[in-house]
Homo-oligomer: A and B are copies of this chain.
Amino acid sequence: MSEEVRYSPGRAVSEAQVPGWDDEADVVVVGFGAAGACAAIEARNAGADVIVLEVAGAGGGSAALSGGEVYVGGNGGTDVQREHGFSDSTDDLRRYLMMSGGPAADAERVDVYAENAVQHFNWLRSLGVPFKGTYLPGKWIEPPTDDTLLWSGNEKAWPWSAEAQPAPRGHTVQFTGWGGGQVLMKVLCDQAVALGAQLHCNSRALALVIGEHRRVVGVVARQDGQIRYLRARRGVILCAGGFICNADMVRRFVPSALDCQLPVTGGNDDGSGIRMGISVGAATLNMQEFFATLPFFPPASLVKGIFVNGHGQRFVNEDSYHGRVAHAVLRQPQGRAWLLVDNEIFGRPILQEDLEIAAVGESWEEVEQELGLPAGALVHAVEEFNRYAAAGEDPHFHKSEEWLRPLTEPPFAALSYCKGDFQAHAFTLGGLATKPTGEVLDADGEAITGLYAAGRTACGLPRWGEGYSSGLSLGDSTFFGRMAGRSAAALSS
């Protein structure tokens, strides 16, 4: 164990310090989740020999705990989209993804994804990932069926709906309820191993090894309690996940996520991949960004309610993706927000049954008073909403007509989304700066030879909490994991 103290992801090891290589391969992949499995598959397909290091006892990573949803479309639509009457142009997908990337959206990455996402979906099917091919209409957080095609983001919500023709793009692996991620990862991991990737589980990558001219040449790992030095003749691909499990990193880099008590992770998102990249001079991007959600519906009727803050102000179209609503709630002044509902739409949020009902009243004046808000503020917000909703309009937030209905049936209630009264889920979106090829970039924007990253270790397509859509992380991880695998395999040794 004393050797382990010497090695840490934040500190690279120079080749001169390596006592001798214990093993070697063209490509060493760190992490056997969605990105790592796809990287290994493509590196093997390109003829490289591949070692995969996985810290857990088996592959799968955080992707195996996901719903197994992949965000794809464009090029006229996938077979599934077209079969259910949704055409989906590459340009619409591109515009949607650029908006979803927020201020730091990466046009180059979006372009290559939008142009090739359909092909990527077909590739997943060709490996045997099962997609039932059916369509589930409606608004869901966790699809209760084994259907494939879902509305999984902000497509029909303003302002996305004004900029890009909406289409459902969530393509879910066939599995009844939550758990498609397991099915997906079994196929991908099995495929990588079948193609000859050498998998080492219970193997923790401790540090990168750096050779002459700043080329990454290997990895120091602990395998079965032993320190081992693994040479990568071509490249190392970091696919070690994000950093939501690392409390110290969360506190330093994304302190706003401390308000979210429920990490979305397979348990090994400890930031070691990102730290290894930083150790050799990689730049990081959007380290402050995170996915967050609060399942304020189902029942879907609750989407017809309105969120207000402590000033009695509305602040979001409630039919936005639940993660966008979550970010809007989290940033309200003094962490105060409530979902206002009337008797007709009321139901306890199924996924948060013990959510506090902060006020109930026969009039909105009573609710306002019970919440302790300044006289008139909340009443005005509801009256204004009701007046426009009755006419099928929401001039301020452009909530779609489908969810517009005046809140006029007493009793009325305010469900508390004040800080401390609800629990939010989170994972990190910041990571290493990379090209779409997976090449890791330094602070000047130049590639660090021999180093690649994909999945949540990189700052990928999903990089802005307010713009996340379900399926975006899996889509990004599998697609850009493949690209990184091909790139590393093609690098001359």
> Is A388 on the interface with B (CB-CB < 8 A)?
yes
Q: Is the CB of A286 within 8 A of B283?
A: no
List chain B residues, Cβ under 8 A from A279. Answer: 281, 442-443
Which partner residue on chain B sits nearest A249 by CB separation?
B443
Cβ distance A290 to chain B, nearest Cβ, rounded Å: 12
* With contact pairs A11-B446, A278-B443, A314-B311 given, residues A286 and B288 touching in the complex (Cβ less than 8 Å): yes
Could you tell me the distance between the alpha carbons of A311 and B103 in the complex, rounded to whole angstroms?
A: 22
By size class, the interface of chain A is 35 or more
The contact of A395 among B103, B314, B374, by CB within 8 Å, is B374
List chain B residues, Cβ under 8 A from A445. Answer: 10, 248, 252
Q: Is the CB of A396 within 8 A of B377?
A: yes
Cβ distance A474 to chain B, nearest Cβ, rounded Å: 25
List chain B residues, Cβ under 8 A from A442. Answer: 10-11, 275, 278-279
The contact of A374 among B286, B388, B433, B444, by CB within 8 Å, is B388
> Is A68 on the interface with B (CB-CB < 8 A)?
no
List chain B residues, Cβ under 8 A from A301. Answer: none
Cβ distance A64 to chain B, nearest Cβ, rounded Å: 26
> Is A450 on the interface with B (CB-CB < 8 A)?
no
* With contact pairs A380-B384, A444-B275 given, residues A10 and B286 touching in the complex (Cβ less than 8 Å): no
List chain B residues, Cβ under 8 A from A287. Answer: 284, 287
* With contact pairs A281-B279, A281-B281 given, residues A103 and B255 touching in the complex (Cβ less than 8 Å): yes
List chain B residues, Cβ under 8 A from A377. Answer: 384, 396
> Is A240 on the interface with B (CB-CB < 8 A)?
no
Could you tell me the distance between the alpha carbons of A288 and B103 in the complex, rounded to whole angstroms?
A: 10
Could you tell me the distance between the alpha carbons of A256 and B252 in the complex, rounded to whole angstroms?
A: 21
Q: Is the CB of A253 within 8 A of B285?
A: yes
Q: Is the CB of B396 within 8 A of A274?
A: no
Q: Is the CB of B11 within 8 A of A281?
A: yes
Cβ distance A157 to chain B, nearest Cβ, rounded Å: 14
List chain B residues, Cβ under 8 A from A313. Answer: 311, 313
Q: Is the CB of B253 within 8 A of A10?
A: no
List chain B residues, Cβ under 8 A from A256. Answer: 103
> Is A9 on the interface with B (CB-CB < 8 A)?
yes
Q: Is the CB of B285 within 8 A of A284?
A: no
Q: Is the CB of A281 within 8 A of B10?
A: yes
Cβ distance A44 to chain B, nearest Cβ, rounded Å: 30
List chain B residues, Cβ under 8 A from A84. Answer: none
> Is A8 on the interface with B (CB-CB < 8 A)?
yes
> Is A420 on the interface with B (CB-CB < 8 A)?
no
Taking the full assembly, how many copies of this chain does it contain? 2
Render A411-454 as a binary contact track against B, CB cut-off 8 A, 1 for contact: 00000000000000000000001000000001111100000000
Which partner residue on chain B sits nearest A280 by CB separation?
B281
Could you tell me the distance between the alpha carbons of A285 and B397 in the complex, rounded to whole angstroms?
A: 34
List chain B residues, Cβ under 8 A from A286. Answer: 288
Query: In A103-149, which residues have CB < 8 Å from any B CB?
Result: 103-104
List chain B residues, Cβ under 8 A from A248. Answer: 445
Could you tell me the distance between the alpha carbons of A63 and B397 in the complex, rounded to whole angstroms?
A: 44
Could you tell me the distance between the alpha carbons of A311 and B311 in the complex, rounded to whole angstroms?
A: 13
Could you tell me the distance between the alpha carbons of A16 and B321 in the complex, rounded to whole angstroms?
A: 54
Could you tell me the distance between the alpha carbons of A310 and B24 in the complex, rounded to whole angstroms?
A: 61
> Is A214 on the interface with B (CB-CB < 8 A)?
yes
Which partner residue on chain B sits nearest A284 by CB separation?
B284
> Is A47 on the interface with B (CB-CB < 8 A)?
no
Cβ distance A132 to chain B, nearest Cβ, rounded Å: 39
List chain B residues, Cβ under 8 A from A275. Answer: 442-444
> Is A12 on the interface with B (CB-CB < 8 A)?
yes
Q: Among the interface residues A252, A256, A286, A433, which one has the most CB atoms of the partner chain B within 10 A? A: A252
Q: Among the interface residues A281, A384, A443, A445, which one has the most CB atoms of the partner chain B within 10 A? A: A443
* With contact pairs A255-B103, A256-B103, A311-B313 given, residues A10 and B396 touching in the complex (Cβ less than 8 Å): no
Given A12-B281, A278-B442: 17 more A-B contacts, CB < 8 Å:
A8-B446, A10-B446, A252-B283, A253-B285, A275-B443, A278-B278, A279-B281, A279-B443, A287-B287, A288-B288, A310-B396, A311-B396, A311-B397, A374-B388, A374-B395, A376-B384, A377-B384
A→B interface (CB under 8 Å): 8-12, 103-104, 214, 248, 252-253, 255-256, 258, 271, 274-275, 278-288, 310-311, 313-314, 374, 376-377, 380, 384, 388, 395-397, 433, 442-446
14 contacts between A and B (CB under 8 A): A9-B443, A9-B444, A10-B281, A11-B214, A103-B255, A103-B256, A104-B252, A252-B283, A252-B433, A253-B285, A271-B443, A279-B442, A311-B314, A380-B384
Which A-B residue pairs are the 9 nearest by beta carbons? A10-B444, A275-B443, A374-B395, A10-B443, A103-B255, A278-B443, A10-B442, A311-B396, A279-B281
